[in-house]
Homo-oligomer: A and B are copies of this chain.
Amino acid sequence: MAETFHIGFILFPALTQLDLTGPAQVLSRMSGAKLHFLAASMDGVPSDCGLSLLPTGTFAAAPPLNMVCVPGGAGVDTLISDPASLDYIRRAGEGADYVTSVCTGSLVLGAAGLLKGYQATCHWAWRDLLPLFGAYPVEDRVVIDRNRITGGGVTAGIDFAFAVIERLRGRDEAEMIRLALEYDPQPIGMGGTPSTARSDILQGLRRRYDAIGVPARREALVRIATILNVTAT
């Protein structure tokens, strides 16, 4: 019987829910895993797609964690603008054996000062912002640097979770969970990354990002990073 391994997922309004629900599903099958869904309060947390998730505990009353995992989403700017939440994430990360993220959750880890001097990944459209927080961006789906494990955009959270299980419990357990979750992905068409997508699809998506305010959100992150001044020694 594996020792209990406490994994805390950070919930915040306007998170991209699959960033969290993908790895939560996979990691919930890991031997000894105990999952905690933590938020500033016990209220339901609205995600980006109309579905709200219920926390199992608050930041204030959270147990010590073996691993903290921060998902991403449009709510990242607001989350890192809240000193109490950011302070909790910093303390949880400093006390954890593993400090992890999916998608733009790595920007949150960065803002909390937890990625200074570490290699990390992020959703491809945001990865270049990691140096704002002293991290070294790596173009990969899952990046492991010492005890920091970061996953790329959204669906990368599933591969991230299997990488965690492989590291903690070995390849055999990871493959058994892979079979249980029937993880034999068969993506339609081309793409999935900027370098493999059709160029007109990439350009169309960039126009869409412009239309839904991504440039303003990027600028907001730059402003917040300046205020937080994480990279200073």
Contact = CB atoms under 8 A, between A and B. Distances in A.
Interface of A: 16-18, 21-22, 24-25, 28, 34-37, 44, 48-54, 56, 103, 123-124, 141-142, 152-156, 158-159, 162-163, 166, 171-172, 174-176, 178-194, 196-198, 201-202, 204-205, 208
B205 A182 contact: no
Contacts of A183: 154-155, 185, 187, 192
A172 B199 CA distance: 11
A48 B21 contact: no
B159 A179 contact: no
A103 to B, nearest CB: 8
Given A17-B24, A21-B21, 20 more contacts: A17-B21, A18-B25, A28-B50, A34-B50, A37-B51, A44-B44, A51-B53, A53-B53, A154-B181, A156-B184, A158-B185, A159-B185, A162-B187, A178-B188, A179-B191, A179-B193, A179-B194, A179-B201, A179-B205, A184-B187
A162 B154 CA distance: 15
Given A50-B56, A53-B53, A175 B189 contact: yes
A54 B53 contact: yes
Contacts of A202: 179
B24 A176 contact: no
Contact of A178 (B25, B166, B189): B189
A1 B191 CA distance: 24
Contact of A175 (B17, B48, B155, B201): B201
B21 A50 contact: no
A201 B187 contact: no
B172 A201 contact: yes
B25 A37 contact: no
A192 B178 contact: yes
A17 B52 CA distance: 13
Interface-central residue, A48, A192, A204, by most chain B CB under 10 Å: A192
Interface-central residue, A50, A51, A152, by most chain B CB under 10 Å: A51
Nearest to A198: B175
A176 B152 contact: no
